[in-house]
A and B are shown apart, each in its own frame.
Chain A
Amino acid sequence: MNDAFGRPQSVIVLGGSSDIARAVVRRLAGARCKTVVLAGRDPERLSSAAKEALDAGASLAPVVLFDAHDVAQADLTVSNCFAAAEGPVDLVIVAVGDLGSPDSDERDPTRTADLITVGFTWPASALTAIAATLREQGHGRIVVLSSVAGVRVRRSNFAYGSAKAGLDGFSIGLAESLRGSGVIVQVVRPGFVRTKMTEGLKPAPFSTGPEEVADAIIRGIETDAQVVWSPGLLRWIFMIMRNLPQSIWRKLPG
């Protein structure tokens, strides 16, 4: 159960080996979280993330494998995760996405479909299943990793960005639909994060690291904020960015 500060005792992470997810799990397991279900594609990385969770204080850290290209299985993956938790689940983190490599992918229709599937279609289907289970439970929190790339889509990663834009909008709508159900949905919009996913790319202004994003997420959980920006300043910057004429937006670095 969540306590008065929103600290969960059990968590499911979809995309459990991502750097941000691991940093969040370390913090949660150091507080109240005893059960950590880690779901993802790479068994090796997942088991090292599970070990890390156990070291940080969790006492149960099962691993569930899935492939986010397989939309038809999203529902089943979610129910496997809930079963692995062996009890009520207080928090579900959705950290699934594929940045792709803009140069080679943007002219490839199949890769484009993949990026949208992994970044939007699969997560949206999974979120629908998660919401139904949490609704029955009468409580729970969903944290969805979105990105500023989806707040205003830009040239450099428009497939990824538009998938995030879709997921972000979907999540906010889902949050509304769950009002009064005891289930909260929060959207996290980090700026450019220096992680394994962005290795080799030139950091955009206001870049941040997984540890900073994890801190922002933990604070967001405490405050129930609907949208969590990281760094926080981006919230104000994007108020302006969103409305810049395309001709200026195009010229901004990043």
Chain B
Amino acid sequence: MKPVAIIGAGPAGIRAAQTLVAHGVYPILLDEAARGGGQIYRQQPANFKRSPAKLYGFEAHKASALHQTFDALREQLDYRPDTLVWNAEAGLLDTLHEGRVARVEYASVIVATGATDRILPAPGWTLPGVYSLGAAQIALKFQGCAIGERVVFAGSGPLLYLVAYQYARAGAKVLAVLDSSPLSAQARALPGLLAQPATLAKGLYYRAWLTSHGIAVHQGASLSRIDGERRVQSLKWRNAKGEQALDCDAVAFAHGLRSETQLADLLGCEFSWSHLNRAWLPQRDPAGRSSVPGVYLAGDGAGIMGADAAEIAGERAALALLEDLGYLVDPQRCAQLEQSLERIGRFRQGLERAFVLPTDWAAHAADDLMICRCEEVSAGEIRQVVGEGHWEINRVKAHCRVGMGRCQGRMCGAAAAEIIASESGRPVGEIGRMRAQAPVKPLPFGLEIEP
């Protein structure tokens, strides 16, 4: 019989694997990373020595629990690290491992591909020394490095305060945190956030820690531009009081996260517009079933809900898969998991209200702002195509190449959509969805094909 495949060894994929194994299934687990854990519980290279407490802070026990679960599973599944899934279709996955391509046949698949930063660019964002918030965290967690000596953190979302805090704790000089969400938004969001008081408390703790250590935290503050000759030397930011300048040698910014949905798209899953995520997401029922039989979705790859939810959704999706294959599963456990997901969903609504996407971003973006860093397409070039009467995002892409470069719109897609929507006077949910294309990431030249 063809095997069950899981794509992604983050919290969602690992819990899914554990659940399948517990029911006697021997799954294939494919992950592009070298070691299991996913984004939040990313493991440092094997010869690094920092303790879990140093690396994961409050989440150390969860990280250790997940890594231990994974280590215990190793003999009971076909784990393939360093393996990119670059194409997916009914019953087949195309993979790349150490320069060799191969095909994996599957009976059912759980897609648990996680998320990357959501980027709304500021002028100067391609200068060396400017990184996404996630990148800043990876430099520290995975490599023991800071992105510079005098770092400014900007944008919004839960990672903003968390990463600034982690940097300061690790001994980096954090010059300022520029939070684009106004304080009023955070006050309004409080009722939703109280659905998960512990997580709310952590967020408040990070910010309080920063201010009590003399680090400037500004609310309602946005990056106007980043300047420098061949690398970051200074930036300008503004708030209601006007524009201010700051000398720095590194900037990390992002506005929350975006789901990695390309494989779900290639698998033919139906998508719908999510107001909460301000993004097109593959549809999933409360158990994680997609619109395509045999294809299941779990974790942040199908909508941003955070690490705890990813673990729960991974288990729930695996149970759904087992149920559909005729296995006996515990209905009470299924109901419990769905209830937990619902509770976290309420918290998520609060978070999204607290860290609002700056809806006036597109209106403020100057024509010469580079939106696509792969092909260097500017806001003005996108606007020109819209001016010629195009507003459907794939059409606009065909005309000015935004989203067509090597990152396939991962970095520019959200920003391009905001510009098109604002310029064409349509809601951003009504300009269409940027289609994924195989290979979902560039393949090197001169590939060997496995027999």
The answer to whether A and B interact is: no
